[in-house]
Amino acid sequence: MRFLITAGPTREPIDAVRYISNFSSGKMGYALAKEAVRRGHSVILISGPLSLTLSRKGRGNNPIIHQIETAREMKKAVLKYIPQADCLIMAAAVSDYRPAHTLKGKMKKSHKEISLKLVRNPDILKEIGAKTRNKILVGFALETKNLLKYARAKVREKRLDYIVANPASVIGRDSSDAMVLDKHGRIIKQFRQTSKAAIANFIVRLMERKNG
């Protein structure tokens, strides 16, 4: 199979030295890429700014790693590579908002309060789900409360085949609690304090079965 996987955070610049981001470690996306390579698949990994490394050992082709910074750069990369893919797994934590204006230089400190105007970033997976057919689409939901409710709403709204629901407490950890839901919102697998490598193994095998 040909896997397109996204991983890590995005960074939205405020000025030449500051940015908006999140605490995503990228470990889940990289675990997925490693497992897909290990099982002999072709992998394109679109990665946010991370220092993680990807093992190239496996029966398949070496992965293509495309590094990005912003949500708009990630959208451009996903649109570029998705025609080549059998499935898209959006494990990245894409910033929902970006500054309306970015200063070219460094913002100088003053004694006054400042306000930062934010605008919405594109919803990459929703746009892909609305117009893409014959691709397996997998999203991730990360919430601090009402996790199952929001995951079920997201899998329908974005027309996904599957969604992986995680509590926010898993960010940065090597193990995770997770629920995998199908497109009808049914829980097909539940994990308790399971390594992200083991979760990745289940997801990649699920993609293989779905692909036939």
pLDDT tens string 144-201:
999 999 999 999 999 999 999 999 988 888 888 999 999 999 999 999 999 999 999 9
- Helices and strands per DSSP (H, E), number in the chain: 5, 12
**Residue 59 clears pLDDT 90, i.e. is over it:** no
pLDDT at 114: 85
Mean pLDDT rounded to a whole number for the chain:
92
Please state the rounded mean pLDDT for residues 12-36: 95
CA distance 194 to 199: 7
Round to the nearest angstrom and report the end-to-end CA distance of the chain.
10
List the alpha helices (DSSP H) in 12-56. 27-38
Residue with tokens 């709204």: 157
**Residue 57 clears pLDDT 80, i.e. is over it:** no
In angstroms, what CA-CA distances link 186 with 95, 152, 192? Answer: 27, 8, 17
pLDDT at 34: 94
In the structure, what pLDDT confidence band is assigned to residue 55 with cuts at 50, 70 and 90?
low
Q: Set out the domains of the chain in order of their start, with CATH numbers.
A: 2-100+117-211 (3.40.50.10300)
pLDDT, tens digit, 9 for 90 and up, residues 98-131 = 999 999 999 888 878 888 999 999 999 999 999 8
Residue type for position 93 = A
Closest CA to 94 of 127, 76, 119, 69: 69
In the annotation, is 134 catalytic? no
Strand, helix or coil for residue 54: coil
69 token code pair: 């910074």
